Chains A and B, each alone.
Chain A
């Protein structure tokens, strides 16, 4: 696929929801992609086709349907391996989403590897899903949770990491590859290099990065990596946890139940092979199939093209929004260091009021703390408005957003 704006314009027809109108017959301008993305027909059809033609439980039965269902389910595992460059498919565990993935690590790895006095390091711009599981774990284990701070440009202060690593007590460093509020792209290579030198494992929350840029796990060299399907055109309720085999082998199961066992006796059980040891119960088969279709769709476009398109949009949006009097954009303006997520505040108008007024124009932006209250505290704001882009967004969408801010200014007499 050519990386021209017209080819991106063309793919809008794959997304039926973009044809609908909202409120007073306004075209939908969907700018909440950091929250969840819309689904193309290819994904919707794959799920429908699964239920209409192949639905059966996987891994056990020998009849034709079960074989087809199992094949479709397992095929997605291979697609994921290709998509983010994982050599060993046994390291890929299906979960509900990034939140469950991180909780799985906190439970199944954390409980046997973290002890009193140990330190877990996270960052000031994490989503609650990469803070709260570690609070629960460190409180239970009498360990400590420490933060890598953020500078006024929205970038991490890596000196903080050096100081923490120097204590010799750090047992895990966890960070998002892209901030869901500021769009900052974390310098993962530098963090992982430092952690490796200190012998400390790393976990990456890839929920915002994987949908928007090429991610190569082999090259990154972290130990744990998590992402969600619904932020990359896939269905809700399906996500991926990847864990390096040598680490996975040291982990206890997360949930006990069917499919994760080899043999169950009255008082003891042996575990199934990887990754099934961590996939207890009937999994979300249909949505795994849907995620496979989403990966096919993105692969066809090419992740470098996706990134390029979003750089274009982000550049345009920052330029246009910067011209709006009284509007403050958070985070770096260096496009090479940020994804297509723009958080802003408009004069003294509360983000909820901004969101409600521009909703009348059919614009969907997010307002609030974006599940990042630690970051809101750091920025010293209660909330921000956030516009976030994806492959189907256009410069016209941004024009509609910028124009709608005039209405806000009028209502609030700015």
Chain B
């Protein structure tokens, strides 16, 4: 991409105007909140999990167009997946969907805030259902290495 402003293509603007899966799930099985200390962007993700599968997912919060578009795409990718597959979602799965692979460093955190929230929500959920403490440690390590 030649210019940084090129990232504001139709899809990003549309998603930011009309986000997908925006809202809250009242009887969620897990919820997580996080914010970006640099810019104040703030995202909550609620998930409904049945039979090891994400049957519903919604997000809400405040963020820039990049943050909102990536949150929309991420929730679309996640919905219907089983937890192992969600655990394997990588940042490029989100970025490539929106042509943001070359996003400058300062904006990457905007794009990946929702992924961080999703993973934290997932680990919270899995952690609660884990019995073996070794697995919990492994999980923590995986979470710490996300970024």
Task: List the interface of chain A (C-beta within 8 A of B).
Answer: 23-24, 349-353, 356-357, 359-360, 367-369, 373, 376, 382-383, 407, 411-413
Give bound CA distance, A350 to B67, whole Å: 10
**Of A23, A356, A360, which contacts B107 at CB under 8 A?**
A356
Chain A, residue nearest B9 (CB): A411
Chain A, residue nearest B107 (CB): A356
Known A368-B38, A368-B39, A383-B39: A357·B5 in contact at CB below 8 Å: yes
**Of A369, A407, A412, which contacts B39 at CB under 8 A?**
A369
Give bound CA distance, A357 to B66, whole Å: 12
A350: B residues at CB distance < 8 A: 16, 63-65, 67
Give bound CA distance, A413 to B12, whole Å: 12
The reply to whether B4 and A360 contact each other, CB–CB distance below 8 Å, is yes
How far is the CB of B2 from the nearest CB of chain A, in Å? 8
Give bound CA distance, A412 to B12, whole Å: 10
22 of the cross-chain contacts (CB-CB < 8 Å) are A350-B16, A350-B64, A351-B64, A352-B39, A352-B41, A352-B107, A353-B8, A353-B66, A356-B7, A356-B8, A357-B8, A359-B5, A360-B3, A360-B5, A368-B38, A368-B39, A376-B40, A382-B42, A382-B63, A407-B5, A412-B13, A412-B65
CB-based closest 3 A-B pairs: A350-B64, A352-B64, A382-B62
The reply to whether B65 and A349 contact each other, CB–CB distance below 8 Å, is yes
Interface membership of B110, Cβ < 8 A: yes
Interface range, B side: 20 to 34
A356: B residues at CB distance < 8 A: 4-5, 7-8, 107
B107: A residues at CB distance < 8 A: 352, 356
Give bound CA distance, A70 to B63, whole Å: 51
The reply to whether A411 and B5 contact each other, CB–CB distance below 8 Å, is yes
A413: B residues at CB distance < 8 A: 13
Chain B, residue nearest A383 (CB): B40
B16: A residues at CB distance < 8 A: 350, 353
B41: A residues at CB distance < 8 A: 352, 382
**What's the count of A-B pairs with C-beta under 8 Å?**
56
The reply to whether B13 and A369 contact each other, CB–CB distance below 8 Å, is no
B62: A residues at CB distance < 8 A: 382
- Count chain B CB atoms within 10 A of each CB in A350, A369, A412 and give the residue with the most: A350
Give bound CA distance, A413 to B16, whole Å: 12
Give bound CA distance, A236 to B117, whole Å: 35
B3: A residues at CB distance < 8 A: 23-24, 360
The reply to whether A359 and B13 contact each other, CB–CB distance below 8 Å, is no
Q: Using an 8 Å CB-CB cutoff, how does the interface string of B66-77 with A read, 1 for contact, 0 for none?
A: 110000000000
The reply to whether A373 and B40 contact each other, CB–CB distance below 8 Å, is yes
- Give residues 20-50 of B contacting A (CB, 8 Å): 38-42
- Count chain B CB atoms within 10 A of each CB in A349, A382, A383 and give the residue with the most: A382
Give bound CA distance, A383 to B64, whole Å: 10
A376: B residues at CB distance < 8 A: 40
Chain B, residue nearest A351 (CB): B64
A367: B residues at CB distance < 8 A: 39
Chain B, residue nearest A373 (CB): B40
How far is the CB of A110 from the nearest CB of chain B, in Å? 25
Give bound CA distance, A269 to B5, whole Å: 60
The reply to whether B40 and A411 contact each other, CB–CB distance below 8 Å, is no
B39: A residues at CB distance < 8 A: 352, 367-369, 383
Q: Using an 8 Å CB-CB cutoff, how does the interface string of B99-135 with A read, 1 for contact, 0 for none?
A: 0000000010010000000000000000000000000
Give bound CA distance, A23 to B65, whole Å: 21
B8: A residues at CB distance < 8 A: 353, 356-357, 411-412
A23: B residues at CB distance < 8 A: 3-4
How far is the CB of A92 from the nearest CB of chain B, in Å? 34
B67: A residues at CB distance < 8 A: 350
Give bound CA distance, A360 to B3, whole Å: 8
A351: B residues at CB distance < 8 A: 64
Additional A-B contact list (6), CB under 8 Å, known A24-B3, A352-B110, A356-B107? A350-B67, A353-B8, A356-B8, A359-B5, A411-B8, A412-B13
How far is the CB of B112 from the nearest CB of chain A, in Å? 14
How far is the CB of B123 from the nearest CB of chain A, in Å? 26
The reply to whether A382 and B40 contact each other, CB–CB distance below 8 Å, is yes
How far is the CB of B18 from the nearest CB of chain A, in Å? 12
- Count chain A CB atoms within 10 A of each CB in B5, B62, B67 and give the residue with the most: B5
How far is the CB of A365 from the nearest CB of chain B, in Å? 14
A359: B residues at CB distance < 8 A: 4-5
- Give residues 83-106 of B contacting A (CB, 8 Å): none
How far is the CB of B47 from the nearest CB of chain A, in Å? 24
